[in-house]
Each structure stands twice: as structure tokens, then as C-alpha cells.
A = this chain, B = another copy of it.
Amino acid sequence: SAKQKILLLPGDGIGPEIMEQAVRIIDWLKAERGLNVELSEDVVGGASLAKHDVPIRDEVIAKAKEADAVLFGSVGDPAWKDVPFDRRPEVAILRLRKELNLYANLRPAKLFDPLLSASALKPDVVRGLDLMIVRETVGGVYFGEPRGIETLPDGTKRGVNTEVYTTAEIERVARVAFDLARLRSGRVCSVEKGNVMESGLLWREVVTDLHKREYSDVTLMHMLADNCAMQLVRDPRQFDVMVTGNLFGDLLSDLASMLTGSLGMLPSATLGTPEGTDKQAALYEPIHGSAPDIAGKGIANPLAQILSLAMMLRYSLDRGEDSELIEQAVSNVLASGLRTADIAAAGEARVSTAEMGAAVLKEL
């Protein structure tokens, strides 16, 4: 059968270090399990700015569209903090999401039991936590027009962004959440700020209508975003699937993943259908960022990147068994007590990025 194409985009900061460990596993799967993929790799973010003077080249977007899946590291680099707004490293991931129409970002917040002590929350509050945030990623205030900074007659400035959501944009992401809920506990919590924002009010209306029409078997509740931020701290296990817009999703999913104490282990998938095609596109990336403070030190946790690969194998490459193999290997490594710095308790020994990668390989 034809080779499947995977595009690797390690990006900035710790991205390249952790991607290296994921690639070791891909190599093993090719050698030992008959995985038939063609890898290509390119630069994005600060790395692309350095080499090509843009955060992402059009040909990288084109390659991503052609690929069966994109495995992404992360972007963001303080070295480029003074570039013009449209040239900042973050443009790479924003353009990828937008141009591949990757509208649904699935962000699990799952607590790995051996890491219970790494959470800032009391064990009784988070034990067994396993929720999934579905974040809209090609709309909202991230992309709405008009936007920009204008200079006023008196020389001072005015910064503007526009939050926009349409019925169609809300419906398609809500569908992803309802479908997921059917495979999980059958509960969805939709989050907006409809008591203040009309875009949030429309969000609630559209989700409510869709629910009535097609998903009345799923239990739907609505929550205001400020209350949701509280509830995630007070009692996060009340949630199963959550669905929300781009900006609230950004904050709430980071918050939720921090509750687990295992941010360095959480993968994510962003799914969609590029306009004018009917093929499914997907990008897999760790939930954590580029962590410039520890980049290059060889101490970053590669598990989120490795688990992102596992998600890719299952959802884009139809290789569920390989995916399980990896997840089981990660779980064995953790059970054996191996810890990178981010998940080590005070006084516990810490292994390097490469040692953690090697340990997962060995368990395969």
C-alpha cells in the first residue's frame, strides 16, 4: 500500500529535543512493525524566521495540506518578541490551523495516577480526573476582522480585535463534542460568556438547538466562562466533555491540564477538513509550549510529544495497535518510577529527555 506522509514540524524551544524522541519511536515502528510512512521535516516559528525570514513558508503550508498528518512541536521564542505582529513565531501554528481548517482542538486533561503528587490540588479533588476540552481553533477573536492598532489624532493608540462566531462554525465544533461524549460519559458542558457577549449568546443558542435536533441522548449543560474557571478548581471531576470558543478554550484548557500536574505529558489533536476537500486533516502537538527557559538543556519531558504520536497513529494512520503499544510503554515507564524534572517530586531522581525516550523505546 502507498506510503502515508507525515510532516514533522519541531518548531522552537524544546520542540526539536522532544521531537527527536518521537522520531526514534517512528523509526522503531518502521523497522519492527512495518509502519509504512514517509517522513519529511521542516522549520516553523522562530526557527523559520532565522532561516527564511518568515514564521512559516507557503510551501510548508502546502506540504502540510498534502500530508496525512502533521506532528508539531511548539512555537514561540522570546528572541523574536520585537518583530512586527504578523511575523511573530506564533503565526506558524495560527496559519496552519486556519489554512488547513483545523477547527476542533481536542485537549484531554487526564491525571496519570503515579503522578498524583505532582498536582497542586488535593488528591481527593483530582484523583482519576479525565476530561476532554474541545476548543474551537479557527474562529473567534483569534481571527476576526477588523483588527490591528491604529494611531489616534492625538498620537495615542487604539488596539482592536473582533470576536466573531457564525452558526456554522459553532455547529461543526459542537458536533465534535457531542460525538465524543457519546463515546465517553454522554455529557457535554458548553462554555461561553453569553451574559455579556452576543457571540456567546449565539454560541449557547446554536449548541442548544443542535442538541435538541440531533443529540438529545447526550446530557447538555451550559456554564459561564468565569464560573467554569472556578468550577475547574473546585471540583474538576464534575466535567467530562467541554466545548468552547478559541479564547476561552486557550485559558481553560491550560488551566485544566495544570490541574493534572502532568502538563508535560498531555498530547492534543486538532482536526478539520481543508476547504474544498473532503479529506480529514489533522495536527498533533503537545499541550505544553516551547518552554524557552529549559530549551537546549536536554531535560524536557518528551512524553507529550510521544503520546501525540500515539494519537496520530490511532486517529490518522489507522494503527490502533501501535498506538496502544506506545501508551502502554509510557505507562510502564512511569510505573517504574522514571521522572523528568517537570514531574519529579522534591528529592526524586530525574532523567534526561533522551533517557526518557530510550526508556519508552525499551518498553516497546
Within 8 Å by CB of A163, from B162, B166, B232, lies B162
Q: Could you say which of B156, B160, B162, B289 contacts A167, with CB atoms under 8 Å apart?
A: B156
Residues of B within 8 A of A94 (CB): 196
Are A160's CB and B252's CB within 8 A?
Answer: no
Q: Please, which residue of chain B has its CB at the minimum distance from the CB of A166? A: B158
- How far does the Cβ of A289 sit from chain B's closest Cβ, in whole Å? 8
User: In the complex, what residues of B have CB within 8 A of residue A152's CB?
Assistant: 166-167
- CB of A324 within 8 Å of the partner chain: no
> Does the CB pair B227–A196 fall under 8 Å?
no
Bound-complex Cα distance A122 to B123 (A): 9
List, in ascending order, chain B residues with CB within 8 A of A199's CB.
159-161
A141, CB-defined interface residue at 8 Å: yes
Chain A residues with a Cβ closer than 8 Å to the other chain, count: 62
Query: Are A258 and B230 neighbours in the complex by a CB distance under 8 Å?
Result: yes
Pick the most buried of A120, A232, A259: most chain B CB atoms within 10 A of its CB. Answer: A120
Judging by beta carbons under 8 Å apart, are A164 and B156 in contact? no
Once A163-B141, A165-B158 are accepted as A-B contacts, the answer to whether A198 and B147 lie under 8 Å apart by CB is yes
3 nearest A-B pairs in the assembled complex, by CB-CB distance = A159-B202, A159-B199, A156-B167
Q: Which of A156, A232, A263, A289 has the most CB of B within 10 A?
A: A156
- A168 beta carbon closer than 8 Å to chain B: yes
Residue numbers in B under 8 Å from A248 (CB-CB): 251
This chain: copies in complex = 2
A85-B198, A160-B163 are known contacts; what are 9 more A-B pairs with Cβ within 8 Å?
Answer: A120-B125, A142-B197, A149-B202, A156-B167, A158-B167, A161-B197, A227-B254, A229-B258, A255-B255
Which residues of chain B are near A206, meaning CB under 8 Å?
A: 157
Contacts of A195 in B (CB 8 A): 76, 88, 90
**Known A-B contacts A85-B201, A198-B160, A202-B149; A255 and B229 likewise in contact (beta carbons under 8 Å):** yes
Which residues, 248 to 296 on A, are CB-close (under 8 Å) to B? Answer: 248, 250-252, 254-255, 257-259, 263, 289
Would you call A247 an interface residue if the criterion is a C-beta within 8 Å of the partner chain's C-beta atoms? yes
The smallest C-beta distance from A174 to any residue of chain B, in angstroms, reads 14
- The residue in chain B whose Cβ has the minimal distance to the Cβ of A222 is B81
Contact assessment for A156 and B160 in the assembled complex, using a CB-CB cutoff below 8 Å? no
Tell me, yes or no, whether A184 is within 8 Å of chain B by CB.
no
A98 on the B face (CB < 8 A): no
Give complex CA distance A195, B199 in Å: 22
Interface mask (A208-219 → B, CB under 8 Å = 1, otherwise 0): 000000000000
- Residues of B near A251 (CB, < 8 A) are 225-226, 229, 248, 251
Task: Choose among B162, B203, B230 the residue that contacts A162 (Cβ–Cβ < 8 A).
Answer: B162
**Contacting pair A160 B162 (CB below 8 A):** yes
The answer, yes or no, to whether A148 is at the interface (CB within 8 Å) is yes
Q: Is the CB of B161 within 8 A of A157?
A: no
Residue from the list B165, B233, B247 in contact with A233, Cβ < 8 A: B233
Tell me if A334 counts as interface (CB < 8 A to partner B): no
Per-residue CB proximity of A187-203 to B under 8 Å, as 1/0?
00000010111111111
Given A166-B152, A229-B229, CB of A142 within 8 Å of CB of B196: yes
Q: Which residues of B contact A61 (CB under 8 A)?
A: none
Question: Does A235 make an interface contact (CB < 8 A)?
Answer: yes
**Cβ distance A262 to chain B, nearest Cβ, rounded Å:** 12
A234 located at the interface, meaning its Cβ lies under 8 Å from any Cβ of chain B in the complex = yes
Residues on the B chain within 8 Å of A120, using CB: 121-122, 125, 233-235
